[in-house]
Amino acid sequence: MRNAIIQIDNVDVEYPTGYESTRRVLRGINLEIERGEFVSIVGQTGCGKSTLLRLILGEQQPTHGRVLVNGSERSQPDRFCGYVPQKYSLFYDKTVLENIMFGLDVVEFGAFPLFHLRRRKRMGEFRSKALDFLKRLGLDESDARKYPHELSGGMQQRVAIAQALVMQPPILLMDEAFSALDPATRKEMQRLIHDLWRQSTTTILFVTHNTREAVCLGTRVIALGGASPAMREIAVPHIDFDSDTSELDALVREVECGIAGGTTVGGEANLRTDRCELSANLVH
């Protein structure tokens, strides 16, 4: 893959679990993600989905192998990857507007903004940009002054997405971002993130344990096995949110088989399924 923005080469991750014992979470993972892709990562709890994101963020280093983001290894998170976690995604000491403006402000004025004389003028510009994003994500201007604890879960995640997207990151990593939402809000948010992705060139990695969500959103689904730290890569055709449910159900079953396949084969590293072959299988 020539245009890979993320390249994961033969990565193992082990955690120490006691004296001289370790637990292997990921084994022999190879993955390349192109610019502009929407990749869903799905799997059971504890299969290493979030670990994979942390590797890409640079927050964690692999035990073996390497992770290249835009051609280089990362030692800590930076602006190249936006991040929307499931919880604590907003700074609760800041209002909605301050949360969205934070990135713009901190990049320009650093740790001690009060020492910058130009800041007041620039803040006006940041404010209008943040309000623009707020509206794009379906929030009112009246919400701008609220603190995160005054917002519903869905609104909080909208603000978290705006906060990340206002920085225009080439990659957006979403770690079970919609898991805590009720079904109606979740569907609304899925549609929103899909629309935002279609309108931009951002590469999105979407971690979820909901197979249906993974299939609906992703152009590709990475299924991580539970008991065995293996991976199965499954390409999915474009599914409209309002498509025939039997077609969607078939896809979901196929991906769930993928997850199960990863577990039953156990020990076999990197179970890759040919994308075209699988697509053909699923569509027809």
* Cross-strand pairs, 4: 34
Segment interacting with another protein, rule: CB under 8 A, options 89-97, 127-135, 237-245, 265-273: 89-97
Contact with another protein (CB under 8 A): which of 163, 202, 203, 228? Answer: 163
Q: How far is the CB of 31 from another protein (least distance, A)?
A: 20
Contact between 45 and another protein per CB under 8 A = no
Task: Determine how β-strand 231-235 pairs with β-strand 271-272.
Answer: parallel
Helix (H) or strand (E) holding 252: helix 245-265
Phi and psi for 42 in degrees, rounded to 5? -130, 150
Residue at 167: amino acid letter: M
Q: What distance lies between CA 271 and its chain's CA centroid?
A: 22
x/- binding map, residues 222-241, to another protein, per CB under 8 A?
--------------------
Instruction: Give the three-class secondary structure for 65.
Output: strand
Report the alpha-carbon distance of residue 105 to residue 127 in Å, rounded: 10
* Cross-strand pairs, 233: 222, 272
Segment interacting with another protein, rule: CB under 8 A, options 63-71, 84-92, 185-193, 251-259: 84-92
Residues between 118 and 147 with contacts to another protein, criterion CB under 8 A:
147
Contact between 12 and another protein per CB under 8 A = no
Among candidates 255, 261, 253, 254, which has minimal Cα distance to 226? 261
Let me know: does 270 contact 30? Beta carbons within 8 Å: yes
Segment interacting with another protein, rule: CB under 8 A, options 1-9, 85-93, 133-141, 261-269: 85-93
* Residues binding another protein: number (CB under 8 A): 32
Contact with another protein (CB under 8 A): which of 23, 64, 66, 87? Answer: 87
Report the alpha-carbon distance of residue 125 to residue 144 in Å, rounded: 15
Contact with another protein (CB under 8 A): which of 110, 138, 266, 267? Answer: 110
Contact between 15 and another protein per CB under 8 A = no
Query: How buried is 196 (Cβ within 10 angstroms: 0-12 exposed, 13-18 middle, 19+ buried)?
Result: middle
Contact between 152 and another protein per CB under 8 A = no
Residues between 54 and 73 with contacts to another protein, criterion CB under 8 A:
57, 59
Positions in the binding site for another protein (CB under 8 A): 57, 59, 76-79, 81-83, 85, 87-89, 91-94, 102-103, 106-107, 110-113, 147-149, 163-164, 167, 169
